[in-house]
Amino acid sequence: MIRIDLRETGSPDDSREWLETDGRGGYASSTLANLHTRRYHGLLVANLQDPEGRHLLLSKLEDSLLVDGKEHFFSSHRFPGLLFPPDQPVLDGFLLDFCLRFTSRAGKIPVKKSILMPRGQETLLVRYDLDRCPRGGILRLKPLLAFRGYHKLAHENTFLGGRAEKIENGFRIEPYAGMPSLVIQTSRASSFTPSPCWYNRFQYTEERERGFDWEEDLFLPGIIEVPVERKCTVILSVYVTNGDMMPHRVPTMMPHRVPTMMLHRVPTTSPHRVPVNPNSSGAVWQTEAVRRGHDRTADEREALGFTGEDQEHLLALLRAARSFLIITPSGKPAIIAGYPWFGSWGRDTLISLPGLCFSTGRIAEGIEILTEIGRHERDGFLPNYFSADGKPEAYNTVDSSLWYFWAVQQLATRCDKSLIRDRFWPVMKKIIRSFMDGTCYGTGMDARGLLHAGDGQNALTWMDATVGEIPVTPRHGYPVEINALWYNALCFARDLAAEFGEEPLFDTDIIPLLRSSFKVFWHQHHDSASGPQGYLGDVLRDGVLDTAVRPNQIFAVSLPFSPLDTAEQAAVVRAVREQLLTPCGLRTLSPNDPAYIGSYKGGPAERDGAYHQGTVWPWLLGAFGEAALRVAADPKQEKENIRQYLRTFLRSHLLEAGIGSVSEVFDGNAPHRPGGCIAQAWSVAELIRLYMLLKDR
């Protein structure tokens, strides 16, 4: 539970954001003042099957309570030179528990506004609980529609069909041909007055800062008014339908057979969605509340062994983890890389999977996701990203295939090896053979056992930012973490082949050869104060080692099989700790480097130029913590050091950007302002995995 007192800090310029998700890739999000600052903010952003992808349907509500001749608003809008309403909504507090809840005051009347999206449904429920409301009060609701792809902006046009069809306690509207209909109804008797018009020039200040178009027009079909008095509850339901008023169907994911011991917390998805009508919205709300209560109970089991602040932070991360695990409209399991703008990415999925699933008891879900991504192997490569409906797209990442081995390693500690043999081993063998024989993008093993990848035209590693189609951080050649992952994969494959009684996939002399060859990455230097020091350079290209101090070297220590000796491992951890560790993650480049950029801000080119040139990434903390524990002279003290680090970081951060989640990136320079996505899957996942490594077993 996260509670924020807004009585003194509440402001329309409060940039902190909230997020609610529906388990299908859809979401609702805005700021604490319900003042949209991004094109991605909306109350019903649905992941549709037709047309495919996320679409922002209902942007916002202008909601207010009319009582004693005065109108009290619960949300805000920014127009050119104007903030409406001029007197900001009187917010008392925000609560993140099983749902989102805002407490405010309409004069002296306490009002609780809650937002909930039932899992597996294209539905939004907005609940208003009013207390001590005098006779004659009116809850006025003005739904403002966008009906657009979530990366785009809406503008006034003549194609929108503005006629709304009155139905019981609400209306139905189909604004554009080829788009679904939207049904909006209230749980109490209400009246709908058609008043179609455009509200022009909503301004989104975050988009302006990011260098994008930042003004939008929204359409108002009409006004819903609900008579209220005394103590009462009103639930507004908003849901997506086909033209025949039937809801979009949500396919059921049929899990493959897995051992009984692993059938723990199978994905909860309804086979279809029952329309939420005025008489059932309360029951739907209660059903979802009970379901989330069960989730909370399961999370508490996973958090056993932690107490106090550690337990609170872990429970918040476990709650956030659930938002990234989805079933696509066609019934495929997937992981959303980040909200609000990322979709499903291969690399992010494989790095996030152990933390989101295997470390949290969601074993069956993890198996299904890992199985699904393995189905799409091609020439040794796995997809870089998937469409909104789970179809594989570009195959242009070399490390996804190698992270696949790591994800299977994490699963192997929690399941019978026969599952690994039957489900994942065939994919792993194809990847190794393809990489050894040579495959796409110049990827292949050389005579030293090292893995080469790329030709300078593509960014194939996780440091993949480009400006003008030119990689900002060129890493073609022999990247250090790719070869660490390759060494780890070969060692794991050697052991599996032996365990399964199979002939070796390759000459096992390659492994000691590769271990010896890995020394080409070692950079020895001398510090007059502390004597000889060393670390791993970042990329070997044309016989020249790039000696930039980057975090990629940490994986040569953290992975289950390390190509380094004990002293080298300790030196790498020391170099990373001294030059890259910040209070919120690892920098992507040492601040001592002339190419270092300490602020992640500006337009697309400026931000992409800083993305991996000093910007801090919290997901790297998982590997750093694991490596630090591996080399620690006093593991018990190191665990306590990491616990204290996490307490300090999360105590502040869970309240400062995306409430209850972990941001994508932070500035390299203090005070390390958060940036990028407000909720990033691998940020959350690797912190969960790190917490689980801290358990006293």
| Cβ(103)–Cβ(93) below 8 Å | yes
pLDDT of residue 15: 85
Rg (CA), the chain: 26
Q: How far is residue 396 from each of residues 352, 378, 489, measured CA to CA in Å? A: 19, 11, 19
Task: Please enumerate in sequence order all residues whose Cβ is within 8 A of that of 286, keeping only pairs 6 or more positions apart, or say none.
Answer: none
Is the bond leading into 551 cis (omega within 30 degrees of zero)?
Answer: no
Per residue in 412-470, pLDDT tens? Answer: 999 999 999 999 999 999 999 999 999 999 999 999 999 999 988 889 999 999 998 88
User: In terms of DSSP H, where are the helices of 334-398?
Assistant: 346-353, 363-374
Per residue in 10-55, pLDDT tens? Answer: 566 678 999 999 999 999 999 998 999 999 999 999 999 999 999 9
Ranges of residues in the chain with a pLDDT under 70 are 9-13, 88, 243-279, 526-532, 696-697
What CATH topology corresponds to 2-248?
A: Beta-galactosidase; Chain A, domain 5 (2.70.98)
Let me know if 541 is exposed, middle or buried by CB neighbors in 10 A (0-12, 13-18, 19+): middle
Q: CA nearest 316: which of 623, 16, 19?
A: 19
pLDDT of residue 274: 41
User: In terms of DSSP H, where are the helices of 243-307?
Assistant: 281-302
670: which DSSP letter?
T
Cα 4 from Cα 7, distance rounded (Å):
9
Diameter of the chain measured on Cα atoms: 85
Could you tell me the sign of the dihedral formed by the alpha carbons of 603, 608, 610, 611, in that order?
Answer: positive
Structure tokens belonging to residue 185:
């109804």
Measured in Å, how far apart are the chain's first and last C-alpha atoms?
27
Phi, psi dihedrals of residue 99, rounded to the nearest 5°: -145, 180
| Cβ(385)–Cβ(394) below 8 Å | yes
Domain ranges in the chain are 2-248, 319-325+580-697, 328-437, 444-569
| Cβ(187)–Cβ(224) below 8 Å | no
Cα 541 from Cα 13, distance rounded (Å):
48
Cα 618 from Cα 664, distance rounded (Å):
7
